[in-house]
Structure 1
């Protein structure tokens, strides 16, 4: 969700430069079930433009209509959407609509937080009642500083309910390898809103023009991978198509903290790599092997580079969300 909020903030800034007003719609509570959950947001621009979504597409028209009074009055309000009669979801959405104005100080701190891969919190104060109420607003908490999305002085929120959401650093995918399949995987990941970094060989350097959607392309050897920033919101896929190179990259990042490390190739290749890894580093932490997924991907019978990208990204998402899936690493024998 962090990348969606980043897009919303970027659109607010663009609107302000063009002299257009904006309204932020946030789902802050839910009774029952719904397609999307509290914490989803969308931005409405006074010319009718919408950034983001709060549903699969059914709720947005009502939100756009309700936002018109906020654009006129500048006063925040609550609305509800009863999906029991419209969507069949048996849920009632409570949506906070608030005018948005962003200061230059907020802009600077926000993008510093994104660039430094630091989390931040959003506290939305609301009522489960339809109408306009005092002090309805969302606060962005960077730790040392808080900012109201309405760019006003912090209000007294006594008597209001609060929905809190911690937004982590944007998901990052590091692809170690710069062949054709990395192009497809990187592009698909970027379409999910992930930051994509490509590692190519210094002997065959590439640029971001070779990898649409990527944030950066680094030409480094395995020894230099020790300096890569790999945090708990980062997934890595080894796909150099060179066994020795993959192994040495794996050794270089063994002390990092990715939540997922995918390894392309057969189960036989994986077992050989595991054995050599233990021989070369017999003190390696056992937990490290829990992060290794080889062959990378879920068992959907993927054949083409595009299908393999879907398989790998699905596995990464499942691992990140703590879901159980049929990983290829559990399959015995050939995978193709």
Structure 2
């Protein structure tokens, strides 16, 4: 959910430049079930405009209405929203509403942490009650142990008597797309809606511009012989879509040095055995663990035909891999969706 916090911070800065105050609403506790879980946030500006969501859209209007007192007296508070009688969620949300001010030193540390792909810890201090005011607030801790408050009104020394919700925000999930054709553009555009950090590698002979890939973080022209990957970790997926078996093979050989979570390759099913055989020829000691990360043809079997549909099937497969879920229709589920 780091991408949601990025959007909130970016909008908060814009609001501050306009002279508008901001408050932040965070779901800090849940009794029962809800559409979204603790840790989701929404930003409300003094003109009562909002960014982000804490539910499917049913709770937000009430939160905006009940945030007005925080603007007027600068006192954080906790409210509840009982969905058992108004929603199909059967749960009670506890929501912390606090003043939200972005200082330059916090923004610098936040930007640096994202650039270095570091985790960020947020501790929100509250009490389980409705429409209650107190010394509530959130404390952000970075890897270098720097700490920042979202609001000057939060007295850290009085936090020990309160409940605390702790959230560890992982770096944005990273998607590397190797390919520069029309289908790669579609995959980039759709994946960007998930808040993924997307880097695109096109052919050195036909390199593209960043403007060609809406939502991309970077676009470079390179080759499997010269490329040097960085920051490939367990929360990284790679989709190879060169439409060239030779180029695909070269990139997979190069990637054998790394440990991405997922490697998807476009192509017909009958290419898979050939690809694996040639990998053994070039890398005799290649591990089964690495081979298990290769998904070819990439995507779930949902009948996808168009580039957009194929992109959806690939993204769905990546999600199933990183979430460690075997895909099936939710209508077959008898228990809770999320344990």
Query: TM-score, structure 2 length as denominator?
Result: 0.93
Other structure's SS at 2:13 match: helix
Alpha-carbon distance between aligned partners in 1 of 2:62 and 2:132, rounded to the nearest angstrom = 17
C-alpha deviation, 1:138, in angstroms: 1.0
Alpha-carbon distance between aligned partners in 1 of 2:27 and 2:257, rounded to the nearest angstrom = 39
Indicate conservation of the 8 Å contact 2:78/2:127, yes or no: yes
Query: TM-score, structure 1 length as denominator?
Result: 0.94
Indicate conservation of the 8 Å contact 1:48/1:64, yes or no: yes
Residues 285/110 of structure 1: CA separation in 2 closer, same or farther (3 Å cut): same
Residues 117/151 of structure 1: CA separation in 2 closer, same or farther (3 Å cut): farther
Indicate conservation of the 8 Å contact 2:126/2:162, yes or no: yes
Indicate conservation of the 8 Å contact 1:263/1:270, yes or no: no
Where does structure 2 lack aligned partners over 5 or more consecutive residues? 329-339
C-alpha deviation, 1:14, in angstroms: 1.3
Residues 83/179 of structure 1: CA separation in 2 closer, same or farther (3 Å cut): same
Alpha-carbon distance between aligned partners in 2 of 1:156 and 1:256, rounded to the nearest angstrom = 46
- Equivalent residue for 2:201? 199
- Equivalent residue for 2:179? 177
C-alpha deviation, 1:211, in angstroms: 1.4
1:16-41: CA deviation from partner (whole Å, max 9, x where unpaired): 11111001000011000011111110
Alignment coverage as a number of residue pairs: 326
1:42-70: CA deviation from partner (whole Å, max 9, x where unpaired): 00001111110000000000100111001
Alpha-carbon distance between aligned partners in 2 of 1:43 and 1:260, rounded to the nearest angstrom = 34
Indicate conservation of the 8 Å contact 2:34/2:89, yes or no: yes
1:79-105: CA deviation from partner (whole Å, max 9, x where unpaired): 000000000211000000000112111
- Equivalent residue for 2:10? 10
- Equivalent residue for 1:188? 190
- Equivalent residue for 2:56? 56
- Equivalent residue for 1:129? 129
Alpha-carbon distance between aligned partners in 2 of 1:108 and 1:88, rounded to the nearest angstrom = 41
Indicate conservation of the 8 Å contact 1:70/1:76, yes or no: yes
Indicate conservation of the 8 Å contact 1:236/1:261, yes or no: yes
Alpha-carbon distance between aligned partners in 2 of 1:271 and 1:77, rounded to the nearest angstrom = 60
- Equivalent residue for 1:84? 84
1:137-169: CA deviation from partner (whole Å, max 9, x where unpaired): 111110311111114663321221111111111
Residues 289/280 of structure 1: CA separation in 2 closer, same or farther (3 Å cut): same
C-alpha deviation, 1:231, in angstroms: 2.1
- Equivalent residue for 2:147? 146
- Equivalent residue for 2:70? 70
Residues 251/126 of structure 1: CA separation in 2 closer, same or farther (3 Å cut): same
Worse-matched range after superposition: 285-294 or 101-110: 285-294
Worse-matched range after superposition: 190-199 or 299-308: 190-199
Indicate conservation of the 8 Å contact 1:176/1:239, yes or no: yes
Residues 116/161 of structure 1: CA separation in 2 closer, same or farther (3 Å cut): same
- Equivalent residue for 1:32? 32
Indicate conservation of the 8 Å contact 1:226/1:253, yes or no: no
Other structure's SS at 1:188 match: helix
Alpha-carbon distance between aligned partners in 2 of 1:185 and 1:155, rounded to the nearest angstrom = 48
1:212-253: CA deviation from partner (whole Å, max 9, x where unpaired): 221211111102333333122211001101111111111111
Alpha-carbon distance between aligned partners in 2 of 1:75 and 1:278, rounded to the nearest angstrom = 64
- Equivalent residue for 1:314? 316
Could you say what the CA RMSD is over the residues aligned between the two structures, in angstroms?
Answer: 1.3
Other structure's SS at 1:273 match: helix
Indicate conservation of the 8 Å contact 1:202/1:219, yes or no: yes
- Equivalent residue for 1:229? 231
Worse-matched range after superposition: 103-112 or 151-160: 151-160
C-alpha deviation, 1:135, in angstroms: 2.3
